[in-house]
Amino acid sequence: MYDLIVVGGGPAGATCARRAALGGLDVLLLDRSVYPRQKPCGGALSPRVSQTLDFDIAPVVDRDIRAIGIHTPSGRGFAVARRGLTVNMVTRSRFDHYLLHMAEDAGVEVVQDAQVVGIERTRDAMRVLCLGDSHRSHILIGADGVNSIVARATGIRHSWPSDRVGLCISADVPMDPSEIQRITMIPEEGNEPAMHIYFGATSWGYAWCFPKRNNISIGVGCRMDRLTDLRREWTRFIGRLEADAGVEISLPRTNVHRVPLGPPRWKLVTPRTMLVGDAAGLASPITGEGIFYGVSSGLLAADTAVETVKTRSLKLILTYEQKIWNLLKPEFDVLRFVAEKLYGSKRTLETVCNVAAADQIVRDLIVDLVIGAKPPQSVKNRLLKQMLIHHPLQAIKIGLG
């Protein structure tokens, strides 16, 4: 019997399993995929990811990005750049494989190609049923992504409310590095490749074009309850990129993927189970960024598991939910508030973009919020104050007055 079984070897599961093994637990990690596996993702890591991990991720960073091109719904553009602000771009197949290696090096037993099909709770353990096999542990962690079987089988969550999940279509398009530089650089920010975000490409969300080493990640994502026709928006976006950049983008048929946009009820535990990462719903309601939240919740769950095993007190597992609530609920409340205002309509989006383009303070505050650089409530208060004092008409238009 293991101390801990982690289902899912993405960023949340791999960092969680590693931390628990380093804390002395006997850990089994099960993943249905064989690594390196594909994971649809923009692959943009906010600075908090490398700051949170206790090992160097430089070997798997494709590029460091220092400028972001924002495209407003009406097609105007402006750049966001700040001294010292760097976004790490990764290719998920390489990044996730690296994290899994780090977990194995720390002593985690990793079993790939192991699809979990059921979970049972016995008197003194959790039993995890795989196709053709089963394993037992004192504690179970569900790190199995947005469609988590652990969440469903333990009764923590059966489905997503449509305002807490987004749908995305994305693709990695192979491209020569010089071509990547040509089509993504923002001349006034130097000649390095930049990330680009296109607001208004969909009704509640955005489209993106992110430069990697030998490809660009492009995609479009929309909150599910505001969905109109994502495939049409995707096709229109590709057409726009082709026209703007003077390139032809040929794509295989792409699938639609889900991304959570915040935990619906913040119910994340049962007496022997904890959910982390996407399985817990922990991705930003504004951007869909989830890797940082996966890593930080994974670490918190691992520490809770280590304490629980050391003290033999199962009650400690319940404290994980409270710790996540304390750590992330205030941030998610602010992100959700801003998302509601921002994506309210194309008109409000245009207004916010125009204010941000003209006002460095507003721009900096929005960046602080998105990358979690400062306490969210104080950023929100300063943002509201700046809007009401310096942009009162726009504040009324957005519904802040």
Residue 13 sits in the site that holds ligand FAD (CB under 6 A): yes
Applying CB under 6 A, among 4, 25, 40, 165 the residue interacting with ligand FAD is 40
User: What is the phi/psi pair of residue 367, to 5°?
Assistant: -60, -45
Amino acid (1-letter code) at residue 276: V
103 scored as a contact of ligand FAD (CB under 6 A)? no
Could you tell me the CA-to-CA distances from 221 to 26, 60, 226, 258 in Å, in that order?
39, 25, 11, 9
Distance (Å, whole) CA 129 – CA 150: 11
Whole-number Å distance between alpha carbons of 306 and 309: 5
Nearest C-alpha neighbor of 372 from the set 301, 299, 282, 300: 282
Count interface residues toward ligand FAD (CB under 6 A): 37
Q: Please, are residues 262 and 164 in contact by the beta-carbon 8 Å criterion?
A: yes
- The string of DSSP letters for 99-164 reads HHHHHHHTT-EEE-S--EEEEEE-SS-EEEEETTEEEEEEEEEE---TT-HHHHHTTS-S---TTS
Smallest separation, CB 167 to ligand FAD (Å): 9
Q: For residue 315, give the nearest of 139, 148, 122 by alpha carbon.
A: 139
By the 10 Å C-beta count (0-12 exposed, 13-18 middle, 19+ buried), 305 is classed as buried
Among 26, 36, 39, 50, binds ligand FAD (CB under 6 A): 39
Cβ 204 vs Cβ 259: under 8 Å: no
Nearer to ligand FAD, 279 or 365 (CB): 279
Choosing from 4, 5, 12, 165, the residue that interacts with ligand FAD (CB under 6 A) is 12
Shortest distance (Å) from residue 280 CB to ligand FAD: 8
142 binds ligand FAD (CB under 6 A): no
Stretch that binds ligand FAD, among 119-127, 132-140, 189-197, 287-295 (CB under 6 A): 287-295
Instruction: Give the rounded distance of the alpha carbon of 41 from its chain centre.
Output: 9
- What is the rounded distance in angstroms from the CA atom of residue 343 to the CA atom of residue 349? 6
Among 61, 65, 116, 305, binds ligand FAD (CB under 6 A): 116
Is 115 among the residues that bind ligand FAD (CB under 6 A)? yes
* Nearer residue to ligand FAD within complex by CB, 7 or 306: 7
By C-beta, is 151 or 398 nearer to ligand FAD? 151
Continuous H helices in 246-288: none
Per CB under 6 A, 8 contacts ligand FAD: yes
Question: Applying CB under 6 A, does 336 fall inside the site for ligand FAD?
Answer: no
Q: How far is the CB of 116 from ligand FAD (least distance, A)?
A: 4
289 lies in the binding site for ligand FAD (CB under 6 A): yes
Binding ligand FAD (rule: CB under 6 A), the pick from 291, 334, 355, 365 is 291
321 is a contact residue toward ligand FAD (CB under 6 A): no
- Does 41 contact ligand FAD by CB under 6 A? yes
**Residue type (1 letter), 38:** Q
Nearer to ligand FAD, 218 or 365 (CB): 218
Please give the residues from 225 up to 284 whose contact with ligand FAD meets the rule CB under 6 A.
257, 259, 277-279, 283
Taking the complex as a whole, how short is the minimal distance between the CB of residue 31 and ligand FAD, in angstroms? 4
Q: Could you list the residues that contact ligand FAD (CB under 6 A)?
A: 7-13, 30-33, 39-44, 115-116, 143-145, 149, 168, 170, 219, 257, 259, 277-279, 283, 288-291, 294
